[in-house]
Structure 1
Amino acid sequence: MAKTPNFTGWRVVILAEEDANTEKLRRQLALLGIAASLQWLPLADDQLPDLVIVDADRGWDELLPWARRKPARPVAALLGSEAPGRIAWAIDCGATAFIPKPVAASTIYPALVLAVTAHEQRMEDEARIAKLEERLKLRPIVFAAVNQIKADRRIDDEQAFVLLRSGAMRRRMPIEQLAALLVGGLETLSEAG
């Protein structure tokens, strides 16, 4: 089970015009220990808060400084409309939680938890994918190292890969790193094989 965040000390920017909904929202955020500011101007890329709440009913593309579906911070959307275009816009902005209008105090904390949890998961997934893509790019080097070990030791593919893997484990480094060192002539395998 995921740990729910403690929002005390967090800074939130509400991208909306002042009204009864934002007033209630700010009051509830203060009770959660969150410093909230309200603005109806585009968010500056160099002054990002811990979390963004955006009025999806009236928002526009340049309101947020990041590319579509690539939010730099967790995003929750204030939404009173059922218009598919407004919902799609909020999702494109990176919103992973909605706070319905009129705002009810009981909807705010769960929306913030959901937005933060989904954002953290997205960041972990993107990091994992980037790491896998990097490893995939290095597969030809691993293949070259396996071929080199095969030729040097006169063994088959499977035995060569086992030697490479065990050598990487002994050195506590990724297989790809050891393969690059072997192919570059900077390392040798002294393991029996």
Structure 2
Amino acid sequence: MSPTPNFTGQRVVILHRPGGTTERLIRQLAMLGMRVDVQWAPLSQAAPAPDLVMVDADAGWSELFPWALGQNPMPMIALLSSEAPGRIAWAIDQGARAMIAKPVIASAIFPALVMATRFHAEAIDTAAKVADLHERIRLRPLVLAAVQSIMSMQGCDEAAAYRCLRQDAMRSRLTLEHVAAAILAGGRSRSEAS
């Protein structure tokens, strides 16, 4: 179970027209120790990035954000009064990980902050794992070539050669792919790959 995050000192930008919604958000976020900026203009790439973004999903547009679609570098919460499927889809596509229904009630804010923060962290972790797996798949031909090289160097079968490669990777605390690349580049001797 993940610990409940502490939002004290974090900066949130609310992309919404000033009014009752923003006033309630500012009041509640301030009680949580957050610094709040409200604007109804695109985020600037030159300005320091906030820790969290809340966006009016009823009237928002994609150019509010200086990053590619769904590539938000911080947690995002959609503020939504509409049940229009297009507006909900827009918020999800932008990277919103939680939603607060309008009119805003104070008890909805903290849970949305926690959910958005946790789901954003999980999405980043998952994306990193997927990228690593894609890289390993891309490098799989190196592993096969290294196994074949070990087979010819040691006169062993494929299973034994793979076992040697795996043991070398564990000993050196590198991935199979890195050890395979080193073997193929001549960076590892026959004795190291055994």
Say whether residues 1:101 and 2:102 are aligned partners: yes
1:33 aligns with 2:33: yes
How far off is 1:191 after superposition? 5.6
CA contact (8 A) 2:183 2:193 kept: no
1:130-157 per-position Cα deviation (integer Å, ceiling 9, x unaligned): 1111111111111111000001111111
Cα RMSD of the aligned pairs, angstroms, is: 1.2
One-letter code aligned to 1:55: D
Q: Secondary structure at the match of 1:95?
A: coil
Is the 1:71–1:93 contact (alpha carbons within 8 Å) kept by the matching residues of 2?
A: yes
Q: Is the 8 A contact 1:163 1:191 kept in 2?
A: no
| Alpha-carbon distance in 2 for matches of 1:171, 1:44 | 45
2:146 counterpart SS class: helix
Instruction: State the distance in 2 between where 1:27 and 1:6 align.
Output: 17
Matched, 1:85 2:86: yes
CA contact (8 A) 1:53 1:78 kept: yes
- What is the match of residue 45 of structure 1? 45
Query: What is the match of residue 64 of structure 1?
Result: 65
Distance 2:102 2:190 in 1: 65
Describe the shift of the 1:192–1:145 C-alpha distance in structure 2 as closer, same or farther (beyond 3 A).
closer
Post-superposition offset of 1:174: 1.2
Equivalent residue number for residue 75 of structure 1: 76
Q: Residue 8 of structure 2 corresponds to which residue in structure 1?
A: 8
2:17 maps to 1:17: yes
Q: How does 1:106-125 map to 2 (within 5 A)?
A: 106-125=107-126
Q: Deviations over 1:3-24 (max 9, x none)?
A: 2211011000000011111101
Contact 1:167 1:189 in 2 (8 A): no
5+ long unaligned stretches in structure 1 = none
**Paired residues of 1:97 and 1:115 also in contact (CA < 8 A):** yes
Which deviates more, 12-21 or 61-70? 61-70
1:176 Cα offset (Å): 0.9
Q: Could you tell me which residue of structure 2 aligns to residue 184 of structure 1?
A: 185
**How far apart are 1:125 and its partner, in Å?**
0.5
Structure 2 segments unaligned to the other structure (5+ residues): none
| Shift, 1:192, TM fit | 8.6
Which residue number in structure 2 is paired with residue 156 of structure 1? 157
d(CA) in 1 for partners of 2:90 and 2:177? 41
Report the number of matched residues: 193
Read off the aligned partner of 1:179 and give its amino acid letter: A
In the alignment, residue 151 of structure 2 is paired with which amino acid? K
Q: Match of 2:114, as an amino acid?
A: V
68-77 vs 100-109, greater mean Cα deviation: 68-77
Whether the 8 Å CA contact 2:97–2:115 is kept in 1: the answer is: yes
The aligned counterpart of 1:169 is 170
Return 150-159 or 62-71, whichever deviates more.
62-71
Pairwise CA distance, 1:2 = 2.0
Letter in 2 for 1:74: P
Q: Which moved more, 1:172-181 or 1:105-114?
A: 172-181
Cα distance in 2 for residues equivalent to 1:192 and 1:161: 10
Distance between the aligned counterparts of 1:66 and 1:55, measured in 2? 17
